[in-house]
Structure formats: structure tokens, C-alpha cells
Amino acid sequence: MNGMGLLKGLAITFKELWKKPVTLEYPEKKEKLPPRFHGSFTLYSEKCIACGLCQQACPNKVIKVGSIKDENNKRKLASYEMEMKYCLFCGLCVEACPTNALVFNQEYELAKYNVEDIKLTLFKKEQITTGEGSENV
Amino acid sequence: MGENLFVGMAKGLRTWLESNHFLPIVTDVFLMLLAVVGVLGFLFLNALFLIYYDRKFGAWVQARLGPNRVGPRGIFQTVADTLKLFAKEIFIPNNVDRWPYLLAPVLIFTIPVMLFLVIPFGKGMVPYDLNLGVLYLVAVTSVETIVLWMAGWSSNNKYSLLGAMRSVAQMLSYEMPVIFAMLSVVMMAGSMKLSDIVAAQQKVWFIFLQPVGFLIYFIAVNAEFKRTPFDLVEGESEIISGPYTEYSGMNFALFFLAEYTNFMIGAIMVTTLFLGGWNAPFGWTFIPSWLWFIIKMYFVITLYMWTRWTFLRIRIDQMLNFAWKFLLPVSLVNIFVTGVGLYLYRMIRW
């Protein structure tokens, strides 16, 4: 019958009226993120073996791993820096890490007021020994 | 106690003024001014709230939140918007017809204010109870189109002119069903006085005796006040903003406010003519009559908003076809049936 579509439309909007809003009031409330969300990075420096695979995997040359060799000729992490302005959050570095030292975290508000602050320094040894075998890989 | 709140206040003020030996004319003028101020306050507050409510309702229908920043739950959003428009420049483009261009926003707001003269807000609460209240309502409402035409013509803009032309066409075609639907009510009540029409609905509201008339009136009033299924006059997607295109600042705010006041008038007219005005349903007189009036008004407003946020704008030819080929014949048949029914009813009674 003519005009039944109008009633159908009214019924649909009436049902929608009682639905919960899908809007998220973002700065006040935050979305629950999935566990494997590609956010910022966390480095468990005690796990890191400074192998440099992440640096090799990175397509944009974001990561700079600094390492030193200690007295037992064992490679150790000295510094870990990421130029976040080039990062495309592809996750190849996280995949490449053999010890799961580098992981994503849930942080995504990465805008900064100063350009210098964009650089992410995940690890920095307090005093880098300038002794034997100090090298940058 | 609540029932006689406003009437009692007016009465008390009158006796106080008379006991202080003011001239009778001073007392009358003072009380009339007070009524005007009261009506204007009612109108402004409701129009401000209506804009907020409309936005909020639209948000609910679309599963959004709507305005929620200014004040608790965004209740002062309209106030903030109005203040913003106050601060804006009133820009007058070159080559506009200056006087009509500047007069139109002023005049557009006087029309809804004039309409409030005859509205019965509650028991004994009519600013001025005209004998020909219904005729007055019809006559004054249709003047609005002249003001829109003024705005559209003087703006010297093709979109404004198109919008104004549409408003004239719309008013001409929808005035008929509105009048005929009103006429069926007037026939039932036997009077054009709005307070008599309300009094005639004490037992049965006219919506139950005139369901077809109610539907016609509901649709046609929506078209007459240019609400969304029929908002071709504004038609953002086609003609920018119709007659309002060239207006800015407070001039635009006046148009906007007048639009919502007109919307309120439409709801009030539906309430008064079909939903029993200030009469309490089921004999629930513990709620005062003026509050019943406001409750019913907001119920009708919600119905209109519901249709507004459901239906799409129709084309101009569809709109005119609907008015002339469907609403008008149906309303004529409705009048005929009403007349025959009244005659039969009178015969049986006698």
C-alpha cells in the first residue's frame, strides 16, 4: 500500500532513538585497544642482545642501535634511538626481534610540541665506556 | 494551587494597583504590557530550548551525542551560538535593495509574536480572545511569505529569489488544506473563537472525531512552516539557504529564531485545535492546565522532529502535486463528511 514506507521509516528512526550513541568522547574517554595494537614502542633493555636485526628490518632507517663490547667480548646495548617522524608503524622491527625485547605498547598520542621531542630514546647507558671495542653498528 | 498561579498573580496585581488608586487605563496598560513580556519570554525561552532540543533529538536518532560542551549536557549551546552571531558583522552586499533587505529580518519575527495574541495558554490565560481567532491565525501566518519574498527579492541573488518563489508556491498550495482542516474543526466547535474550540473539546478531543482532518492538518502545517520533508525554501543542497543566503550575524539569527518560533506555533495550533488545548486528559487536573498545554505542545513538537529526522526533502513538483492532487480533495471530502455527520447527529438528537 502507498505510504507504508513512511511508517517503516518512522519505525526505524524510533528504534534508532533508543540505541546507545556510537560517539566516543575522545579526550575524556579512551577506546579499548586490541592487544596487538601498533602504538608506540617499549624496549625491555634487559632482554635486548643488541643484535641489530630491528635496525636491519626497518624500511625507513628509523632505528639506531648503539652497542658496546664488554670485557668478555660480549655485545651489549649502549643506546636505542628511534626517529619517530619517519616511523610508519609497520611492525617489521617487532617481528624481527629474536628475544621479544622490542614490543608495541598501547600509547598513540604521539604528537609533540617540539620537533626534538619526536625522537624516541628508549635506552641510553649512563656512562658509555670509551674503552676497548666501542663501536656503533 | 498551581492551576491559578498566573491568573491569580495577574488578579492580585490588578487589585493591588487599583487599591493604590492608579488610573484604570494605567492598570490595564501595565497588565497588558506584563502579558506581552510574559508571552515574549515564553517564546524566546522555548525557541532557544527548541533549537537545542532539535539538535539533540537529531543526534539521538543518528546514534550521536549532539551538543555537549557548553553547560551541563550542552544546554547553553544555543545561547553560545546566539552570542557568536551577535558579535558577527551585519554584512550588506552591494546592489541589494537596502530597505527591504534590512526590514525583512525585523518583520519576520513580528509575525510569530503577533500569532501569540490569540493562543489560549491555560484556563483563562488568553492574551486577547478574538472572536475570529482561527481566521486571525490563518491570515497572519500567510503574511510571513511576503516577508520571505521581501528577503529573497531584495537580496539580489538567484538562490534567494528561487527560495522566495518556492516559499510563495508552497504557502499558496498548503494554505488550502490547512484552512479546510481548520474549517472542519470550526464546524464541529461551532465557533471561530479559540477558547470556544478548546472548551468544545472538554469531553472528546477533536483528534478522535476528526482523524483525517488531524492528519491533513499535521502534514500541511509542517509544510506551511517549512519543516524538513517540505523545507524546499531553505533547501541547503540545492539553493544554499534560500532567502537567508545573503544574511549574516544578527539578521540571520532573527530568521533562524523565527523559523523555530513558527515551528512552535505549528505545534501549538495542532494542540489547540485537535489535542484539546489545555484540557487535562482522563480528568487529571492535579497538573495545572498551562502545564498540560506545554506537555502537549512538546509532544507534538517531538512528533514533528521525529518526522523531520526520518524523511528526506521532496522535490518541488512532488510537493505541489501532493498538495493539489491529494490533500485538497481529501480535505474537501472530509468537510463534506463532517457536514453530513453533524446534520445527522443533530437530527438524531432532536
pLDDT tens digits, A73-124: 888 888 888 888 888 989 899 999 899 888 998 888 888 898 888 888 888 8
Asked if residue B225 is part of any domain, the answer here is: yes
Whether the model clears a pTM of 0.95, i.e. scores above it, the answer is no
Asked if residue B73 is part of any domain, the answer here is: yes
B79-85: list long-range contacts, CB under 8 Å, 24+ apart: B79/B48, B81/B51, B82/B48, B82/B253, B85/B249, B85/B250, B85/B252, B85/B253
Question: A41-136: what CATH class?
Answer: alpha beta
Contact call for B310 and A25, based on CB within 8 A = no
Please check if A87 is assigned to a binding site: yes
Q: Is the pLDDT of residue B1 over 80?
A: no
The torsion of the CA quartet A11, A12, A13, A19, rounded to 10 degrees, works out to 120
Contact residues, chain A, for B63 at CB < 8 Å: 16, 19-23
Contact call for B63 and A13, based on CB within 8 A = no
Q: Helical H runs in A51-107?
A: 53-57, 92-96
Contact call for A16 and B62, based on CB within 8 A = yes
Asked if residue B115 is part of any domain, the answer here is: yes
The answer to whether residue A22 neighbours chain B at the CB level (below 8 Å) is yes
Which pLDDT does position A127 carry in this prediction? 54
Q: Which distant-in-sequence residues (6+ apart) come within 8 Å of B5 by Cβ? A: B288, B290
Which pLDDT does position B47 carry in this prediction? 86
The answer to whether residue A11 neighbours chain B at the CB level (below 8 Å) is no
Q: Is the pLDDT of residue A125 over 80?
A: no
Asked if residue B133 is part of any domain, the answer here is: yes
The answer to whether residue A5 neighbours chain B at the CB level (below 8 Å) is no
pLDDT digits (tens, 9 = 90+) for A35-71: 888 988 888 888 888 888 988 999 988 998 888 888 8
Q: Is the pLDDT of residue A5 over 80?
A: yes
Parent domain of B286: 45-349
Average pLDDT of chain B is 84
Average pLDDT of chain A is 83
What are phi and psi for residue B205, nearest 5 degrees?
A: -75, 155
C-alpha cell at B115: 500569532
**Which of B63, B68, B309 faces A22 most closely, judged by CB atoms?**
B63
Cβ(B230)–Cβ(B223) below 8 Å: yes
C-alpha cell at B216: 491533513
| Domain residue ranges of chain A, discontinuous segments joined by + | 41-136
Instruction: Name every residue in B having a CB less than 8 A away from some CB of A.
Output: 59-65, 68, 306-307, 309-311
> What is the ipTM metric for this complex?
0.70
Asked if residue B158 is part of any domain, the answer here is: yes
A106-109: list long-range contacts, CB under 8 Å, 24+ apart: A106/A33, A106/A37, A106/A39, A107/A39, A107/A40, A108/A33, A108/A37, A108/A39, A108/A40
Which pLDDT does position A133 carry in this prediction? 46
Q: Which of A85-94, B31-40, B119-128, B313-322 has the lowest mean pLDDT?
A: B119-128
Asked if residue B6 is part of any domain, the answer here is: no
Asked if residue B11 is part of any domain, the answer here is: no
Q: Is the pLDDT of residue A137 over 50?
A: no
Asked if residue B10 is part of any domain, the answer here is: no
Domain count, chain B: 1
C-alpha cell at B89: 558583522
Which pLDDT does position B333 carry in this prediction? 92
* Highest-pLDDT range among A85-99, B232-246, B284-298: A85-99
Contact call for B61 and A20, based on CB within 8 A = no
C-alpha cell at B110: 513580528
**Which of B63, B309, B311 faces A19 most closely, judged by CB atoms?**
B63
Sign of the C-alpha dihedral computed for residues B314, B317, B320 and B325 taken in this order: negative
